[in-house]
């Protein structure tokens, strides 16, 4: 009999994750999940995940805990009873609401939710099938509405797997009334639910089940369809949702040129010799560029970091007929012979983002290892040697997820291009005052509404440098907060002669500890408008609105982080002072001492004081 080998289980969280990645078996996931409860670092964000289900999902909790740990979260997963989702969500005192989840997963099988629709579809009339489908969507809407009413949780809804077989045979794919068409229509309706709510995500189980079919035998025996492959993919999606919810998305895709945007070396092969075109192998590089361009349309900034003569690279961008990317798509570039770590620091500085916002893509393993060693906060992606996998290497990046794609995201390249024009104008002006007045700046301060809520949530999650408290909010949390008496949530939009900078700042005022005192819960500004007095306008508006709510004093705190030291003196610099016995922040008596608007603003529009008199006292 062979000797039994005992495998030592690592004793810290990071080693546990690496141990599972090395051999991702069910037993390792289960063992690691148990150990993580004891060794997870106390400073990791703690996330409570509730799962509503109508089938057997275990051991999804173990997979989700380990994948969450890989993303730097301490994840606690609680799974509800079998097929009790409606009761749990509609009962105010249920375990679901006592648990106070941060994330709720709604994992419902259509086969169990509407068994006649799924299993005996051809026995139903068209009206019966439509009614069953409507009841299915209505049930999920009721669950979502009940969760939103009693929590501020992010909600992740599984859509439905397509039928494993074709009830109508060859006609299944062409019939507009087939079961497959019906399930796809249901999934579109679930998507519509999510698109109208900033805190709801769709977990694309339809796609996952197509790639990794369910375990049919276990489904029949124990209503347990998840294979290890499905568990891996689902928990990966959950981890992406946690990162998006926490604002941990990256902002910039930095691309090498030779061997990345095209095959070959432009300095040696010249424009006619590089591999780029509509046939193999050049088409593989076209695919990579198309994937990068798609990311830019989601708001990801593109940059170049390449060891080349700049004129050679410019020639490809300007004259090669198969180039997908254009110079206008590139927000920053360093094409020179300086080492790439130094160039990446310069790109981060140019774009006014942290190094942890960068994703660097290169085909050269030596360059990749050098950047990993010198700049560990940069995510480095070494391209695969197999050219057919180049596009997938970009499309599979899960670090750019956000809670929603806003108008500012879609216009991000334009916004940064406008900023570069402003910088050029500043360099040509003789004084700062002359430069500011030449901009013709206008500001518009507005209260939160359903249009701005997603962008405001995004700013709270992604802004680190000019952010006095770094509190993070989801769209639903902001919506609920705005309903509370004595609360004001303001946003500011800024424009000048170079264009509209978009919604760039947020101030949230809540009731303070003392009667008549307003607390500045959140005060933040996008890095693209720093140094132009926009913060003064926002603070002025905050003071005016606090007075309108009946507050007599404005109180603000500064919560120091590794990224926001530049605003440590913001309050004392703007007339706030320490109050006797109060070491937690600064206060400003409202009235004559209200912060003023800089003289170079051409116009400032403030919200009407519709809430005046709803006093905080």
C-alpha distance from residue 108 to each of 188, 223, 611 (Å): 16, 12, 43
Contacts of residue 466, Cβ cutoff 8 Å, sequence gap at least 6: 524, 525, 526, 527, 530, 535, 564, 566, 567
* Tally of CB atoms within 10 A around 448: 22
- Do 52 and 81 lie in one domain? The reply is yes
Q: Is 90 exceeded by the pLDDT of residue 196?
A: no
The pLDDT of 494-502, averaged and rounded, is 90
Give which of 180, 214, 165 is closest to 55, Cα–Cα: 214
pLDDT above 80 for 607: yes
Looking at 245, 279, 302, the residue that finishes a domain is 245
Which tens digits make up the pLDDT trace of 24-35?
A: 999 999 999 999
Domain match, 112 and 163 both: yes
Cα 302 from Cα 417, distance rounded (Å): 12
Residue 393 φ then ψ, to 5°: -60, -35
pLDDT for 611 equals 40
Find the mean pLDDT for residues 510-521.
90
Domain harbouring 465, CATH code: 3.40.630.30
Confidence check: pLDDT of 125 > 60 = yes
Check whether residue 348 and residue 284 sit in a common domain.
Answer: yes
> Quick check: 404 pLDDT over 80?
no
Q: Tell me the pLDDT tens digit for each residue of 375-396.
A: 999 999 999 999 999 999 999 9
Q: Is the residue at 384 inside a domain?
A: yes
Same domain, 218 and 280: no
Domain count, the chain: 3
pLDDT for the residue 79: 96
Average of per-residue pLDDT across 274-294: 96
Task: Mark whether 469 and 579 lie in a shared domain.
Answer: yes
Strands 553-556 and 517-525, how do they pair? parallel
Sign for the CA dihedral angle at 377, 378, 379, 383 comes to negative
- Residue ending a domain, among 187, 222, 245, is 245
| 409 occurs within a structural domain | no
State mean pLDDT over 512-539: 91
Q: Which one is predicted more confidently, 242 or 290?
A: 290
- pTM for the full predicted model: 0.75
Q: What does the pLDDT look like over 40-65, one tens digit per residue?
A: 999 899 999 999 999 999 999 999 99
* Residue 424 predicted with pLDDT over 80: no
For the beta carbon of residue 485, count every other beta carbon within 10 angstroms: 10
pLDDT tens column, 216-272: 888 888 888 999 999 999 999 999 999 888 878 899 999 999 999 999 999 999 999
Is the confidence at residue 521, as pLDDT, over 70? yes
Alpha-carbon distance of 179 to 173, in angstroms, equals 10
**418 located within any domain:** no
160/262 same-domain check: no
Using alpha carbons, list the distances in angstroms from residue 81 to 49, 52, 231, 234, 536. 14, 8, 19, 20, 53
Mean predicted confidence (pLDDT) in 321-335: 95
Instruction: For residues 237 and 295, state if they share a domain.
Output: no
DSSP assignment of 343-384 equals: HHHHHHHHHT--GGGEEEEES-HHHHHHHHHH-TTSEEEEPP
Structure confidence by residue, pLDDT tens digits, 81-114: 999 999 999 999 999 999 999 999 999 999 999 9
Domain CATH number, residue 360: 3.40.50.1000
Please report, to the nearest 10 degrees, the dihedral formed by the alpha carbons of residues 345, 346, 350, 352 taken in order. 20
Does the pLDDT value for residue 523 go beyond 90?
yes
User: What is the share, in percent, of the chain residues with pLDDT greater than 90?
Assistant: 67
pLDDT surpassing 70 at residue 66: yes
What is the enclosing helix (H) or strand (E) of 604? strand 601-605
Element (H, E) at 179: helix 179-195
Under 8 Å between Cβ of 83 and 89: no
Span 6-22, mean pLDDT? Answer: 86
- How high is the pLDDT of residue 554? 94
Q: What is the pLDDT of residue 407?
A: 67
**Domain assignment present for 422:** no
Q: What is the pLDDT of residues 563-576, one digit of tens each?
A: 888 899 999 999 99
Residue 476 predicted with pLDDT over 90: no
Same domain, 265 and 228: no
Query: What is the C-alpha separation between 522 and 608, in angstroms, rounded?
Result: 21
Of 217, 245, 273, the last residue of a domain is: 245
pLDDT in tens, 139-177: 999 999 999 889 889 999 999 999 988 888 888 888 888
**57 shares a domain with 202:** yes
Please, which residues have CB within 8 angstroms of residue 576's CB and are 6 or more apart in sequence?
Answer: 554, 556, 586, 587, 588
In this model, does residue 1 exceed pLDDT 80?
Answer: no
Whether 402 is in a domain gets the answer no
Q: Is residue 446 part of a domain?
A: yes
Same domain, 442 and 541: yes
Q: How confident is the model at residue 405 (pLDDT cuts 50, 70, 90)?
A: low
**At 40, which CATH number?**
3.40.50.1110
Same domain? For 386 and 259 the reply is yes
Domain coverage including residue 102: 13-245
Q: Is a pLDDT exceeding 50 seen at residue 443?
A: yes
Nearest to 36 by CA among 77, 7, 81, 6: 77
What confidence score (pLDDT) does residue 408 get? 67
**Pairing between strand 553-556 and 301-307?**
unpaired
Residue 406 located in a structural domain: no
Q: What is the DSSP letter of 247?
A: T
Residue 597 lies in a domain: yes
Mean pLDDT score of the chain: 90
Spatial distance between the Cα atoms of 304 and 319, rounded to a whole number of angstroms: 18
Q: Is 256 found in the same domain as 144?
A: no
How would you classify the pairing of strands 358-362 and 252-255?
A: parallel
The side-by-side arrangement of strands in the sheet containing 441-447 is 586-589, 553-556, 517-525, 499-511, 488-496, 441-447, 601-605
Q: What's the Cα-to-Cα distance from 413 to each of 294, 454, 500, 503, rounded to whole Å? A: 12, 20, 12, 15
């Amino acid at each position: 009999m062979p000797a039994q080998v005992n495998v030592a289980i690592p004793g810290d969280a990071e080693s546990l994750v690496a141990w599972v990645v090395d051999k991702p078996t069910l037993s390792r996931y289960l063992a690691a999940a148990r150990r993580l409860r004891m060794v997870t670092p106390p400073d990791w964000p703690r996330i409570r995940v509730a799962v509503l289900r109508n089938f057997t999902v275990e051991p999804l909790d173990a997979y989700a805990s380990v994948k969450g740990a890989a993303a730097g979260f301490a994840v606690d997963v609680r799974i509800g009873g079998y097929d009790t989702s409606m009761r749990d969500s509609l009962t105010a005192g249920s375990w679901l609401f006592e648990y106070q989840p941060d994330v709720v997963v709604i994992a419902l099988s259509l086969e169990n939710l509407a068994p006649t629709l799924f299993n005996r579809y051809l026995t139903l009339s068209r009206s019966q099938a439509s009614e069953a489908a409507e009841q299915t969507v209505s049930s999920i809407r009721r669950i979502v509405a009940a969760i939103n009413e009693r929590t501020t949780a992010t909600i992740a809804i599984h859509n439905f797997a397509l039928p494993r077989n074709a009830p109508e045979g060859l006609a299944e794919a062409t019939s507009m009334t087939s079961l497959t068409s019906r399930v796809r229509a249901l999934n579109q309706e679930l998507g519509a639910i999510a698109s109208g709510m900033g805190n709801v995500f769709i977990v694309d189980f339809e796609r996952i089940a197509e790639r990794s079919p369910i375990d049919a035998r276990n489904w029949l025996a124990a209503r347990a369809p998840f294979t290890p492959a499905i568990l891996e993919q689902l928990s990966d999606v959950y981890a992406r949702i946690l990162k998006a919810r926490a604002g941990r998305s990256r902002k910039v895709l930095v691309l090498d040129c030779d061997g990345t945007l095209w095959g070959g070396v432009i300095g040696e092969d010249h424009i006619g010799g590089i591999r780029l075109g509509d046939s193999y192998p050049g088409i593989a590089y076209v695919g990579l560029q198309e994937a990068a361009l798609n990311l830019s349309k989601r708001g990801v900034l593109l940059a170049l970091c390449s060891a080349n003569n700049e004129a050679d690279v410019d020639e490809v961008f300007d004259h090669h007929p198969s180039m997908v990317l254009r110079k206008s798509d590139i927000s920053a570039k360093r094409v020179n012979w300086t080492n790439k770590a130094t160039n990446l620091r310069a790109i981060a500085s140019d774009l006014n983002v942290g190094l942890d916002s960068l994703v660097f893509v290169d085909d050269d393993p030596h360059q990749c290892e050098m950047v990993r060693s010198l700049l560990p906060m940069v995510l480095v992606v070494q391209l695969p040697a197999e050219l057919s996998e180049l596009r997938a290497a970009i499309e599979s990046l899960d670090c750019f997820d956000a809670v929603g794609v806003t108008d500012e995201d879609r216009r991000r390249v334009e916004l940064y291009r406008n900023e570069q024009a402003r910088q050029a104008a500043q360099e040509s002006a003789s004084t700062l005052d002359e430069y500011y007045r030449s901009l013709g700046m206008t500001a518009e301060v507005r209260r939160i509404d359903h249009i701005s809520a997603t962008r405001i949530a995004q700013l709270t999650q992604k802004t680190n440098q000019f952010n006095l408290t770094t509190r993070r909010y989801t769209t639903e949390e902001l919506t609920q907060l705005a309903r509370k008496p004595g609360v004001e949530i303001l946003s500011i939009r800024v424009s000048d002669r170079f264009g509209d900078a978009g919604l760039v700042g947020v101030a949230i005022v809540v009731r303070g500890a003392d009667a008549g005192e307003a607390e500045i819960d959140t005060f933040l500004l996008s890095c693209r408008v720093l140094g132009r007095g926009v913060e003064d306008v926002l603070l002025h508006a905050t003071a005016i609105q606090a007075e309108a709510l009946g507050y007599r004093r404005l109180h603000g705190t500064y919560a120091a982080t590794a990224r926001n030291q530049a605003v440590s003196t913001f309050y004392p610099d703007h007339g706030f002072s320490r109050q006797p016995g109060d070491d937690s922040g600064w206060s400003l008596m409202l009235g004559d001492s209200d912060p003023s608007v800089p003289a170079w603003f051409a116009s400032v529009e403030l919200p009407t004081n519709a809430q005046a008199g709803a006093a905080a006292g």
